[in-house]
Amino acid sequence: MQLSVLVRRAAGMWVLIICPCLPAHLSAQLPLQRACAATATTLTPRGWRTSARLPQQAPRPGLRLVARVPLPGPANRFDYQSFDATRERLYINHMNAGHLLVFDADSGRVIDDIAGLPRATGVLAVPAHHEVYVSAAGAHAVVILDDRTMNELARVGDIGFPDGIAFDPSTDKVFVSDESGGADVVIDAKTHRKRSTIGLGGEAGNTHYDSVSRCVLVAVQTRNELVALDPVSERLVARYPMAHSDHPHGFALDQVGRLAFISGEGNGELLVLDLRSLKILARHPVGAEPDVLAWDSEWRRLYVASESGTLSAFWLDGTSLRPVGEYHAPRAHTVAVDPRTHRLYLPLENVNGHPELRILAPL
Helices (H) then strands (E): counts for the chain? 1, 30
Average pLDDT of the residues in 263-268: 97
Q: Kindly tell me if the per-residue pLDDT of 25 is higher than 50.
A: no
What is the pTM assigned to this prediction? 0.90
d(CA 125, CA 85): 10
The arithmetic mean of pLDDT across residues 239-265, rounded, is: 97
Asked if 166 and 207 count as a contact pair (C-beta separation under 8 A), the reply is yes
Please state, for a pLDDT cut of 70, what percent of the chain lies above it. 91
pLDDT at 48 (0 to 100): 86
Q: Residue 53's pLDDT band (boundaries 50, 70, 90)?
A: confident
Q: Which pLDDT band, with edges at 50, 70 and 90, does 11 fall under?
A: very low
Residue 70 pLDDT class (50, 70, 90 cuts): very high
Residue type at position 186? V
Rounded to an integer, what distance in angstroms lies between the CA atom of residue 306 and that of residue 263?
Answer: 10
Question: DSSP assignment of 54-119, as one string?
Answer: ---PPPPS-EEEEEEEE-SS-S-----EEEETTTTEEEEEEGGGTEEEEEETTTTEEEEEE---TT
Comparing 24-28, 166-170, 296-300, 310-314, which segment has the lowest mean pLDDT?
Answer: 24-28
Question: Residue 23: its pLDDT value, please?
Answer: 38
Q: Do residues 185 and 197 touch, judged by C-beta distance below 8 A?
A: yes
Please tell me the distance from the alpha carbon of residue 327 to that of residue 339, in angstroms, as a whole number.
20
Mean pLDDT (whole number) for 129-148: 98
Task: Give the model's pLDDT for residue 47.
Answer: 85
Query: Average pLDDT in the 74-100 region?
Result: 98
> Do the beta carbons of residue 346 and residue 65 sit within 8 Å?
no
Give me the mean pLDDT over the 23-37 stretch: 51
**Domains of the chain by range and CATH?**
2-43+55-362 (2.130.10.10)
Mean model confidence pLDDT for the chain: 92
Task: Tell me what pLDDT residue 51 has.
Answer: 73
User: Where is 27: in which H helix or E strand?
Assistant: helix 24-27
Residue 60 · residue 103 · CB < 8 Å: no
pLDDT value at position 5?
A: 43
Three-point CA angle 335, 339, 340, nearest 5°: 130
Q: What value does the mean pLDDT take over residues 336-361?
A: 98
Per-residue confidence band for 79, with pLDDT thresholds at 50, 70 and 90: very high
Give the residue among 210, 97, 116 at the shortest CA–CA distance from 155: 116
